[in-house]
Amino acid sequence: MKNFLINEIKGYVAEKGKNYFDFLDGNAFREPIIGFASVKDPMFYSFKEIIKESHLTPTEAYELFFDGKTIDNGTVISIVLPLSYEIIESNKEIKMPSKKWILMGCFAKDFISDLSNYIVHILKEKGYNVVDPSSQEFFKIVIDDNAYSNWSQKHIAYTCGLGTFCLNGGFITEKGRAVLLLSFVTNLVVESDIIPYENRTANCLHFHDEKCEDCIKRCPVNALSEDGIDKLKCFDMSYGKKAKKHVKSLGIETEKAYGCGLCLVGGPCESENPVKQ
């Protein structure tokens, strides 16, 4: 069943008709990476201390969606969608996010929603319960003195062995940090993947001898430093008044358009794991 899911997900993403937006010359995403972890993994419970007490465990997310129905055993499935080289290149030699990058952020929402619905459908067909926590009403993004959610895709992906954290608050996978993430909780039980990294920042060159700071230099609002990321500055750059004005200047009318991503490209980790180069 594990290989079946991996093949189904890769096949869906590879299909040109689905993985194609008319403002691009090719597909929006490269081949995805998929990881699996047990809902019982104690790391999921540690996020209540690392992030916030309100961060949901897989069991809590499952029970919220299925009206209190418990899950004694099951699996968390995490998917990495690496952005195409075309989208990455479009965002490199500029001071504000490119039109392709912003449109990708807009239309990718629909693609991810369709992919999510497809995965839910094929698991239900096989007789399993499944929920995509980030698409539910109980999913929350909180902006106060910080910015966080009650279902962190990066922390979920880390637990599923798909990458590590980095200086700019992003997530470096084997296919780089210019990625999108989604995840599911299901009562299907499959073998968990191990975390193949020595520590939570193992893929970031800044924490190796190189002391890379390319992402710091790329940020137009100085939201990044050696101490990490100022999430409020970053959030304002992506969603604030300046961002909305920039979107309009590009002739993009939809209210769904947003994003920055300048720190995700232009460095050695944009499309691969730099530690393994």
DSSP codes, 136-150: STT--EEESSSEEES
Amino acid at position 91, single letter: N
Rounded distance, CA 119 to CA 238, Å?
29
pTM: 0.94
Average pLDDT, the chain: 93
Token pair belonging to 207: 């924490």
Backbone angles phi, psi at 134, to 5 degrees: -70, -10
Q: What percent of the chain has pLDDT over 70?
A: 99
Residues with Cβ within 8 Å of residue 123, at least 6 apart in sequence: 5, 129, 130, 184, 186, 188
What's the pLDDT at 145?
A: 67
Choice among 15-29, 70-84, 256-270 with the minimum mean pLDDT? 15-29
Contact 263, 218 (CB under 8 A): yes
Size (the chain), residues: 277
What's the pLDDT at 135?
A: 96
**Is the confidence at residue 216, as pLDDT, over 70?**
yes
When pLDDT is averaged across residues 37-51 and rounded to a whole number, the result is 97
Backbone angles phi, psi at 64, to 5 degrees: -65, -45
- Give the angle subtended at the CA of 107 by the CAs of 229 and 15, to the nearest 5°: 115
What's the pLDDT at 45?
A: 97
Choice among 122-131, 158-167, 180-189, 240-249 with the minimum mean pLDDT? 240-249
How far CA 189 is from CA of 5, 11, 125, 185, 186, in Å, comes to 12, 22, 16, 10, 8
- Which one has a higher pLDDT value, 32 or 21? 32
What's the pLDDT at 210?
A: 72
> Confidence band (pLDDT; 50, 70, 90) for 17?
low
> Confidence band (pLDDT; 50, 70, 90) for 163?
very high
What's the pLDDT at 132?
A: 98
Cα torsion 63, 109, 167, 10 to 10°: value is 80
Contact 227, 233 (CB under 8 A): no
Rounded distance, CA 184 to CA 156, Å?
10
> Confidence band (pLDDT; 50, 70, 90) for 16?
low
Closest alpha carbon to 76 in 193, 185, 194: 185
With DSSP H G I counted as helix, E B as strand and the rest as coil, what are the percentages for the chain, rounded to 5? 40, 15, 45
Beta carbons within 10 angstroms of residue 264's beta carbon: 26
Question: What pLDDT digit, counting tens, does each position of 232-259 carry?
Answer: 899 899 988 888 889 989 888 777 778 8
Question: What pLDDT digit, counting tens, does each position of 53-78 carry?
Answer: 999 999 999 999 999 899 999 999 99
When pLDDT is averaged across residues 104-110 and rounded to a whole number, the result is 88
Residues with Cβ within 8 Å of residue 72, at least 6 apart in sequence: none
Query: Do β-strands 147-149 and 141-143 pair in parallel, antiparallel, or remain unpaired?
Result: antiparallel
Contact 148, 52 (CB under 8 A): yes
How far CA 268 is from CA of 207, 209, 242, in Å, comes to 14, 14, 28
> Confidence band (pLDDT; 50, 70, 90) for 156?
very high
